[in-house]
Amino acid sequence: MFYNTASHLIFYTLFYDLDIYISRACRCEGIALSPWQEGNITVKKYYAVVTCYKLSSKQYPIIITTDSEYVFKSIKDYIQQNISNIALRISVLSKKKLMVASSFNESTGNTQSDSAHISITAHIRYDTPHPMDDDFTIYIPLEFFNIFKIKATNCTIYPSLNDIESQFLQFFNDPYNLFPSLHIILETMDDNEFQKLIYFLLNEKILTPYHMYLLTRAFPQHSLKIKYNISSNLISDILDVGKTVQHITARDLIEGIYAFEEILYLKLRTKQYFGFGNFINQITKVLQQIIIVSTFQKKTFEMWFSEIEKSGLMYSILSHCDDVTIASAFYHNTKLFQQLSQYLSYRRINSIASCLKNKCNYEHTIVSQYAIVQLYLESISHVNSLYTLPFNQLLKKYIDPQTMYYILFELGWFTIATALKQTPKKLVFDCIQKFPIGAQYCIMDVYDGILNPNILHDEMQIKKARQLLIQSLIRLHCNGTIHLEV
């Protein structure tokens, strides 16, 4: 399990997929990351320096060092092949254009100064006994964390490591910080990836010539980049839009930019062929680990098991689990597994027992236990009673602005706008007050009939959108993001 959550988040931010490079080269299971540590820089036999910088601004040299020649070769190959992706990830997260340069076994110069650093050590996990322990260490200057809105160096006394780590985790717990900023993507994404992105959105019928027209109006400085990466037919369509659109307001542009960015956030993480989408997906998975760990810090699995037994829902929940999930969940607990004979047939117990013969690591066990707990939480009748409440009463009683903020990044603005149709306007304002301004504009224009005016009479769409909103509310409650007193 990812108990060292902050270490995994910073590792994936800087060196997403490096563990795969190392696993291939060293034929190992993967890497295990240490917690954040303070201390002096100790450069080993081999090292690389990855420097993040902004023009006319301070540089942030990050050192990654090892004594293993094979590990270093993997690190060097990774950095040389992914330098633009590192710049893109950091730029999108910081909402600023940052550049990245690298060097290998050259003079580290000012990187060995007295400036404060944190370090993370990655231990290589081999499948079989290995003659020596291989590892590598990453040194990150505290000033680097300023790009995550962490005031790490604005005072004579540095904040504690725990304070910086806490602020860093808080940054990633705000889903809006993972939003890909459109102007940064236009500035930093290479032409090949940008072209692939545009045509993916067009083929999915998510992007239209009107959206492309808004894009050129919002970012005229990037109109050449857009022109060189689209077909002549699409250019013609965009020009035709320009001839028919009479007036574009600043509000139109804000709405268009937000809607585009939200599409990227919600859609790209499911598409394996987009580098940034993969990164968002991996970060989302790491954040999910925080929720899982938190669930079992509040109650052990044994306590959850006892609660499920008392509820009378054990048989129902186990019937919704496959044999592998049950075997993994009880892999390290023979005593609890024996109690399952009260709820499962002899034949199924034997089937699950055969799965227990397969090796199961601790991470897989915890994920399977969490799946069982989730089924239990979703089955509790008092949570499902939310479906029977009048929608306006549900909004007033259970959905505060912060809760709706989380729902926005699960469902998107259009589903919420549809669900809020026929709701009193003041209640709508109360619900969306914490939304980004672009999302607020989009939702209110739908409410006022400026966008999608025909939706006013579509009762089926409104009902479906409200069902999705309640499902999201229950899901957020079950995973611990919010707490409902139902």
Q: What's the DSSP call for residue 162? A: H
Helix (H, G, I), strand (E, B) or coil at 50: strand
d(CA 10, CA 16): 9
Q: What's the DSSP call for residue 275? A: H
pLDDT at 477: 83
pLDDT digit of tens for each residue in the chain (486 aa)? 445 788 888 998 899 889 888 888 777 777 888 999 987 888 999 999 999 988 767 789 999 999 988 899 999 999 999 998 888 888 888 888 888 999 998 655 544 455 678 999 998 877 666 656 688 999 999 889 988 888 766 555 567 888 888 899 889 888 888 888 888 888 878 888 888 888 888 888 888 888 889 889 999 999 899 889 989 999 999 999 988 887 889 999 999 899 988 988 887 766 655 666 677 776 777 777 777 777 787 788 999 999 999 989 999 999 999 999 999 999 888 889 999 989 999 999 999 989 888 877 777 888 899 999 988 988 876 677 788 889 999 999 888 999 999 999 999 999 999 999 889 999 999 999 999 999 999 999 999 888 766 665 578 889 999 999 999 998 888 877 877 766
Diameter of the chain measured on Cα atoms:
74
Q: What are 60's strand-pairing partners?
A: 52
Cβ contact 53:101 at 8 Å: yes
H/E element, 123: strand 117-126
The CA distances from residue 288 to 111, 262, 285, 478, in Å, are: 34, 20, 5, 12
User: Please, which residues have CB within 8 angstroms of residue 270's CB and are 6 or more apart in sequence?
Assistant: 277, 281
Rounded (5°) CA angle 146-260-253: 90
The letter for the amino acid at 28 is: C
d(CA 131, CA 365): 29
What is the Rg, in whole angstroms, of the alpha carbon atoms belonging to the chain? Answer: 26
d(CA 282, CA 301): 26
d(CA 338, CA 340): 5
Cβ contact 202:210 at 8 Å: no
H/E element, 141: strand 135-141
**What does the DSSP assignment read for 387-428?**
GGS-HHHHHHHH--HHHHHHHHHHH-HHHHHHHTTTS-HHHH
d(CA 25, CA 481): 39
d(CA 476, CA 482): 6
Taking 3-state DSSP, the helix, strand and coil percentages for the chain, each rounded to the nearest 5, stand at 65, 10, 25
**Token representation of residue 10:** 């910073």
Q: What's the DSSP call for residue 17? A: T
Cβ contact 379:316 at 8 Å: yes
Cβ contact 389:467 at 8 Å: no
H/E element, 63: strand 59-66
H/E element, 117: strand 117-126
Cβ contact 352:334 at 8 Å: no
Question: Which has the closest alpha carbon to 293: 9, 11, 2?
Answer: 2
Taking phi first (over 0 means left), then psi (-120 to 50 degrees means alpha), and beta for anything else, what does residue 372 get?
alpha
Question: Which has the closest alpha carbon to 65: 44, 39, 79?
Answer: 44
**Token representation of residue 301:** 């699995």
The letter for the amino acid at 99 is: M
pTM of the full structure? 0.80
User: Please, which residues have CB within 8 angstroms of residue 436's CB and are 6 or more apart in sequence?
Assistant: 176, 258
pLDDT at 430: 94
H/E element, 140: strand 135-141
pLDDT at 65: 94
pLDDT at 110: 47
Q: Count CA atoms closer than 13 A to 213's CA, side-chain side.
A: 18
Q: What are 61's strand-pairing partners?
A: 51
